[in-house]
């Protein structure tokens, strides 16, 4: 059986990416697939693009790649375009603008589909709190998917929080994040384990790659790695300061938590009792 490493949401964090790549190499895993959000937040976005290009066989576009290449298409200046021009080369921008939306393959008889967040929208993923119907939409095909089949297994990123959910005999998996691991459901009363939620996280799948027969095993493993957050932050130079990102790295606390809480409350979820 073959193992494939699936990594996502690196966000320019070179220390976290190097730690993950080293671990994958140590395990002898040859195939690495990346689900996007290589860039933005961390200063090392260009170096991360280089490493991903050198190491990954499949590279999917994330919402950050989608957003940051917009200056190629438009002359409309924005803060993000300024950030983009400061940290990415022309070649980087061309590269991220040409990434594919999704990828799919068979493994041990199951059709596995990959995308950054959702088959229909690049920046909207399902979460633990969604209804079964909303989660089921993740398995449907769209104009962005390669085939028009309903997937058996969907693997996505975007939320920065690992998830494994089984529904209607299908499997929904979030890989977690390499460079910006956060726990979106953590609250001040029951605040979880900060040291766990800020580790570099990725997924290993194991099975018969390319096989449409159900006869072989299919296994999943989440890997959580300690990496040197202090070293990553110390490498930021003086003109780069993203306090929210620093807070995410040190505390695993998502910057938009208040917004998410509000959205969840509107959907009837009492986040304080989770």
- Contacts with Mn ion, residue ranges (CB under 5 A): 9, 37
Q: 123 with 117: CB under 8 angstroms?
A: yes
The nearer residue to Mn ion, 103 or 156, going by C-beta atoms, is 156
In the complex, the smallest distance separating the C-beta of residue 158 from Mn ion, rounded to whole angstroms, is 6
Residues 6+ apart with CB under 8 A from 195: 226
Q: How far is the CB of 18 from Mn ion (least distance, A)?
A: 19
Nearer Cβ to Mn ion, position 34 or 107?
34
- Could you tell me the smallest distance in angstroms from the CB atom of residue 9 to Mn ion? 4
Cβ neighbors of 272 (< 8 A, separation 6 or more) are 187, 189
Q: Phi/psi zone of residue 188: left (φ > 0), alpha (ψ -120 to 50 degrees), beta?
A: alpha
Distance in Å from the first CA to the final CA of the chain: 38
Q: Which is nearer to Mn ion, 37 or 152 (CB)?
A: 37
Smallest separation (angstroms) from Mn ion to the CB of 77:
23
Q: Which residue in 52, 54, 77 sits closest to 65, CA to CA?
A: 52
- The residue among 50 and 255 lying less far from Mn ion, judged by its C-beta, is 255
Q: Nearer to Mn ion by C-beta: 81 or 181?
A: 181
Look-up of token digits 């594919």: 100
Residue 165 C-alpha from the chain's centroid: 17
Q: Which two tokens stand for residue 125?
A: 């993923």
Residue sitting closest to Mn ion (CB):
37
Q: Give the nearest distance from C-beta 175 to Mn ion in angstroms.
A: 11
């Amino acid at each position: 059986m073959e193992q494939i490493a699936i990594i996502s949401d690196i966000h320019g964090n070179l220390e976290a990416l190097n730690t993950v790549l080293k671990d994958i190499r140590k395990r002898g895993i040859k195939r690495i697939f990346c689900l996007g959000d290589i860039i933005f937040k961390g200063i090392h976005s260009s170096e991360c693009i280089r490493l991903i290009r050198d190491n990954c066989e499949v590279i999917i576009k994330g919402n950050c790649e989608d957003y940051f290449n917009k200056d190629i298409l438009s002359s409309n200046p924005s803060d993000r375009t300024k950030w983009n021009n400061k940290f990415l080369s022309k070649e980087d921008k061309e590269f991220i603008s040409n990434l594919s939306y999704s990828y799919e393959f068979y493994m041990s008889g199951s059709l596995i589909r990959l995308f950054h967040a959702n088959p229909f929208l690049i920046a909207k993923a399902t979460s633990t709190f969604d209804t079964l119907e909303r989660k089921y939409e993740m398995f449907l095909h769209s104009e962005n998917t390669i085939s028009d089949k309903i997937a058996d297994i969907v693997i996505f990123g975007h939320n920065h929080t690992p998830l494994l959910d089984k529904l209607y005999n299908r499997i929904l998996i979030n890989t977690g994040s390499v460079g910006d691991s956060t726990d979106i459901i953590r609250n001040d009363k029951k605040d979880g384990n900060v040291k766990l939620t800020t580790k570099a996280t990725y997924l290993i799948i194991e099975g018969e790659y390319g096989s449409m027969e159900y006869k072989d095993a299919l296994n999943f493993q989440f890997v959580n790695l300690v990496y040197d957050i202090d070293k990553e932050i110390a490498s930021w130079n003086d003109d780069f300061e993203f306090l929210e990102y620093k807070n995410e790295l040190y505390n695993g606390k998502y910057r938009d938590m208040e917004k998410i809480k509000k959205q969840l409350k509107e959907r009837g979820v009492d986040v304080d009792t989770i």
